[in-house]
Amino acid sequence: MKMSPEFTKAQANMQPGKITADGFLGDDSRPIVDIIADDEAEMQTLGVDFDAAVARMRYLMAEGRKGLEEPVTVDGNWIVRVSEARGFLPSPFEDGIFRKVNAQVELAPGGVRSGETILYSELGLHLLEKYHFLQGRGAPFRLEPGQLRKVLQL
């Protein structure tokens, strides 16, 4: 994939201090098209479908919201805590504005905590769904493909 003007501008918007204090890239210096291509290849190798991951994450976030910022057990398999802060975040691709809603999901078969967690936001879901962007290595909201597979049971 080539760095189009849209991706070049988005990568500039992902730098620390532009939209969020930490940015979206962590310590990853690769162009975002390379980050996306590498993550797509890893997801394919793991047999994880992006649409299935997004659907499960949306479901878990919706169920977690029912807990009113307290942890809830979902389907006897996950403990989910959804929190919301005031304000909004724009997409670095300039294609939407998203509430500051975060979901922490822990795999908990039979209600027993495993310590295996993922953390994501509404904006992160958008980036995952539309661009297959899991964020750069070292970013606070980076979604590792193997961890997604494990926690989401995909």
What would the pLDDT profile of 98-115 be if each residue is shown by its tens digit?
999 999 999 999 988 999
Residue 135 pLDDT > 80: yes
Q: Which residue range forms the structural domain that includes residue 122?
A: 5-152
* Higher local confidence (pLDDT), 111 or 64: 64
pLDDT bin (cut points 50, 70, 90) of residue 3 is confident
Alpha helices in the chain (DSSP H): 5-13, 32-46, 50-65, 122-131, 145-152
What whole-number percentage of the chain has pLDDT above 90? 94
pTM reported for the whole predicted model:
0.91
Sign, CA dihedral 120-78-72-51, equals positive
Q: pLDDT tens-digit profile of 8-61?
A: 999 999 999 999 999 999 999 999 999 999 999 999 999 999 999 999 999 999
Distances (CA, A) of 4 to 43, 90, 119, 135: 23, 20, 29, 18
Backbone conformation region of residue 153, classed left if phi is above 0, alpha if psi is from -120 to 50, else beta: left
How many domains does the structure of the chain reveal? 1
Integer Cα distance of 91 and 99 in angstroms: 11
High-pLDDT (> 70) share of the chain, %:
99
Joined together, the tokens standing for residue 85 give 């802060």
